[in-house]
Structures are given as structure tokens and as C-alpha cells.
Structure 1
Amino acid sequence: MLIDSHCHLDFEALANDMDGVLARAAAAGVSGMVTISTYVDKFSTYAAIAERYENVWCSVGTHPHHADQELHIQTEDLIRLSAHPRCVAIGEAGLDYFYDNAPREAQAIGLRRHIAASRATGLPLVIHSRAADEDMAAILEEESGQGAFPFVLHCFTAGQELARRALALGGYISFSGIITFKNAEEIREVAKFVPADRYIVETDSPYLAPIPHRGQSNEPSFVRHTAEKVAEVRGISLEQLGAETTANFARLFSKTGLA
């Protein structure tokens, strides 16, 4: 059994065939998924998807690409919306210095507001971090010093230092289809040392389809390919990986009631 901890079912490539997407996921042994928020102002869309399907949950948050567009969103707004029974996480929020689609100051402000919401609710913070390792580690360490909060570094693409510093704070690491790419050796090295109780898998669909589907639109059923590669790297069976990642997901996303 596998769970896709991070997908975007509201995006056109998936939304236009949602019943088919979920049927193919079930056929591939994917028992559940979280559709992740990129705009708080679109929360009703994510909630409606999660209400429609019993094995789909949602989150609430502002992607760092849009941080400057949602500076009106306060921590209190995130806390209020996260009370929805199908909302199981805060985010995705974070820092993206690769694209720099929003001013870095706005990204940091948004990230800290999301951290505060995670700390207040106990819901895990889904973190997007790209080309921002040092600033991300510094913010996580500073904020953790003010009170612990659960979090996962989703679609991990960073270096080993950020992984180790995040793990030291109690964080989780999520691996996407990128781990199957030829040039992802450093990510595979991280996958080798992450503790068995601190990693999960995802698609980030419709983006980042794993080999052998690279170049196609990604979907939750493809998380199996990611899982197979992570299992290979860790030297375990797919069955063991499924058991470990499902237990880890249930513990981190405890509001799902799967634990």
C-alpha cells in the first residue's frame, strides 16, 4: 500500500479526468493522497475535492511563488480554514530562490506565518524549498527554538546538510519522481541515510513524472515508480517501503485518522 503525500488534483491535467486518475491510482496500489494548496484564496476548491473522495485529503497554504499575492493571509486565517475536517496539513509554503517568482522577503513572511499556524494547530507544515538551503535551515532552527512544529520537506531536491539539519529538528523528508532521474545522485544519497521512520513519497503531480514516464503529465498512480527507486536505494523490498511510508504518513498527517 502506498500514499501519494503531495499532488495537485485541482490542476487542469488532473482535474479533467479526476475519476480516472483516482481509479488508476487505486489499481496501482495507491490508497490515498493529499491534494495540496497553492493559494489560500482557492481553499474551497481543494476542500470540495477532498469532500468528494473519501481517500483524498487537502491542505491550506500559499506556495512561495505566490507569497506576495497573499500577504493579506494571516496566521489566524490559516488556523481557521484548517479546522475543516478534510484539511490535514498547512502549506505548501517555503522559499524558492531558483525561480524567485515572489520577493524573498514576502516568501519568508509567508513561511513564518505558516509555521505559526502549524505550531498552533499541530498540523504538519508542507515545505517547498528550492535553492534556499541555508536560509531554510536557519528559519527552521530559529522557529523551532520558539516551539516545535511538525514539518516535511516535500519533493526533496536540496543538499545533505539541509536534510540532516531538518531531521535533527524532527522533520520528515519526502521523495518525488526526481529521485529516478539520472542526475539525482545526491538525492539518492539522502534517501540512503534518512531514518526508516522519517520519510514518505509523493508525485507532486502533474509535474515531475518519474522515469519511465518522464515528459508526460504526472499522476498519483506513478508514485509507485518513485517508491520502487527509493526501495532499491535503501536496499529494501517495495512491500517494506510501503509499510514504512504509510506508517510515517499516518503519524505525520495524524488528522487523517489512519494511525
Structure 2
Amino acid sequence: MLFLASCSIQDTTNEFQRLGLPEPASSNAIPIGDLWIGTWIAAGAVGILVWGLIGWAVLRYRRRSNLLPRQNRYNLPMEIMYTIVPFVIIGVLFYFTVIAQNKVLERDPDPAVTVEVVGQKWSWTFNYKSADNPDVGTDVYNAGTISETPDLYLPVGQRVQFDLRSPDVIHSFWVPAFYQKMDVVPGRDNSFQTTPTKEGVFAGKCAELCGTYHSAMLFNVHVVSEAEYTAYLKTLVAKGQTGEATGPANANKFGPAGEGQTR
């Protein structure tokens, strides 16, 4: 019990050090995590300064008699300061945001894996391309429904590109452990790349309030070895889930996603 308690305390301490973020599991998590922590440090410093000035003003100028202090209509140096300082703070935060954004949006012209992610009412479809998987030899997919959470498999340590599509409404593809999300917009092709850095099973979800069964738009991300990844794709071939699926026709119904794929 003491050992389990110590593990729990350590996990909690690590989460506090990350200021609430989960343990990172992708290459993009590093610049995003640094920006997150740096922003909170800046906000904390500003907060401490403002609270300190408020406390100083309360104590220094507290009422000591019935006489009112001299009233000023304005204080030009003070007004200039509190106009310029916020712009300086915003400029610094903007600078580091652009640096993190550029790192996150960097692209490899030849990623190892490309997954077409289709967000539809009310689940997800994942298409794996045959060009990336010569041992499999064909396009394969996995799709979910309201009552069946789909699985997304990724090989650890390999560059992955996510091509995001939606046939109906706006969704948002989010894996919290990757520290990144991106909207899935009808009629617009969004994409990003990242490298999974840690094996394990991670939660994924839709981060956009997309309608009636938004709460059902969950998926599991399995980051595995390359051999396990290839073996999983072959199980999809054995199930007959070959070709490209743009979203299961029965995704908005309860039950497994089997027949009725729209291609």
C-alpha cells in the first residue's frame, strides 16, 4: 500500500510539474508543453506583481483620518506604463507562440505513415494507405459507431501524417497525450504531422461540440512497435475491411460498424 501510495504521489507531483498536462507521448508535445509552462510562468509573474501593487496601495494609502488625500485627474507616466507594458507582454508571448507553432507545423515531405482520419456523425474512421505498408498490399480501414469505439494504431518512433476529413459537420481531432488538436472541417483538407515517442494506449476524442452524440466521439490510440502495427493492419485485411472508407453509413446508429460503408 505504501508503494502504491508513493507511485500515486509521484504521478501527481509530475502532473503538477507539467501544470495539469498528461505525460507527453509525441514529438510535438515538447514545444507545446514548453509554451504552456512558459505562459503560466509569465501569467503568474504578472499576477504576483499586480497583487503586490494592490496590497502596497491598500497599506500605503489606507485611510488614517477624515482628511481625503489629494485627488489627481490623471497620472501620465502611469497611463503610459500600463498601456505599453501589456503590448510588450503580448509581443513576447506572440513571439514564443510563433516559434512553437512553426515547430509543430514542420513537415517531412515523405512521412513514414499517412492516416486519413474521417470524423463523421458520430464516430471516427481511420484509413491506412497501401503505399506506406507494402507488406499489407492494400488500403485498409477501421471504423466506429456510437456504441463501438474505434482503434487507431500507430508505429512508435515513425513520422505520421494525419489527413483530416469530415463529410458532415465540424469535428476536432484531439489526442491529449500528443498535446495537439486540429479541426476537421467539411470541404477543407487539414493535416499535421507528429512522431509518437512512447508505446501505450492513449485516449482520443472530439474537442468540438459537434451535435447530439458528441460524447460518443471517442477513440483509442495504440502506439506499438512496427511489427505489431503491420500485424494489426493484416487483421483488418482478414476482416474484409479493405479499400478506403469515407465514413460508415451506420456510424450514427447503435451497433458495430460492419456493412454499409460509403466509399
TM-score tier (shorter): under 0.3
Tell me the TM-score normalised to structure 2 length: 0.20
Tell me the TM-score normalised to structure 1 length: 0.20
Pick the structure with more helix per residue: 1
Q: Which has the larger radius of gyration?
A: 2
Pick the structure with more strand per residue: 2
